[in-house]
Amino acid sequence: MTHHLFQKGQVPHNVGERNAAKLNGEKNYFTGKPCSNGHVALRTTANGMCQECQKETQALRRAKRTVEQVEKDRSYARENIKKWLVKNPDPTQRRKNKAKWKAENVAYTRAWTSKRRAAKMNRTPPWLNAGHFFEIECVYHYCNALRESGLDYHVDHIVPLQGDNVSGLHVPWNLQVITAQENLSKGNLHYV
């Protein structure tokens, strides 16, 4: 068995992109070459598969699921959330853990934030007037006041902005202030 004596960031010149990513402990790598389906995208280090192909495969699997399978998955997710909350009861520690994770995963966090911001902009109708924007702002101020008083609340879109089958609008009547636990357990499950 050969042992690699390379430190992270030190890769010999004669290894391919995937092996270099493995040696560096990276989850993804980029070749700049199209995959067998013509995608030029990041590839997963573990299996070498193009991430666009993975998305297409997952979409096909989701489309083939029955109503019973979807409900089973929802129940499983809810049970896992309940178990996790029992193991992690302190909201202050959960926030610290989340902040630490975000600091360690800056690229992922930025990508998710950008996607969310774009979805919100795309789902904000141009016919909203100043009164509507004021109402939206008031909902967020109300939620912020609750959070500053030590209560864990979120602003939630009743119909999710990024649902698989139905997408809601970023409008005052599609917003509600609910507990963080209720919001996180909900996900996009109601409109999948």
pLDDT tens profile 15-43: 578 888 888 888 888 888 888 888 888 88
C-beta atoms surrounding 81 within 10 Å: 15
Cα 170 to Cα 100: distance, rounded to the nearest angstrom: 30
Domain that holds residue 149: 66-191
In this structure, are 8 and 95 located in the same domain?
no
Mean pLDDT of the chain: 82
Question: Does an H or E element contain 83, and which?
Answer: helix 67-87
In this structure, are 71 and 19 located in the same domain?
no
pTM: 0.45
Cα 26 to Cα 179: distance, rounded to the nearest angstrom: 36
How confident is the model over 121-142, as a mean pLDDT?
87
In this structure, are 88 and 50 located in the same domain?
no
In this structure, are 23 and 71 located in the same domain?
no
| pLDDT tens per residue across span 153-169 | 988 888 888 777 788 88
In this structure, are 49 and 73 located in the same domain?
no
Q: Which residue has the tokens 């280090």?
A: 45
How confident is the model over 66-71, as a mean pLDDT?
87
In this structure, are 14 and 100 located in the same domain?
no
Q: How confident is the model at residue 46 (pLDDT cuts 50, 70, 90)?
A: confident
Q: Please name which of 24, 1, 2 lies closest in space to residue 12, comparing C-alpha atoms.
A: 24
In this structure, are 9 and 83 located in the same domain?
no
Report pLDDT for 159: 87
How confident is the model over 127-156, as a mean pLDDT?
89
In this structure, are 88 and 128 located in the same domain?
yes
In this structure, are 127 and 75 located in the same domain?
yes
In this structure, are 145 and 50 located in the same domain?
no
Q: How confident is the model at residue 6 (pLDDT cuts 50, 70, 90)?
A: very low
| Domain end position, chosen among 16, 48, 64 | 64
User: What is the SS3 assignment for 102?
Assistant: helix
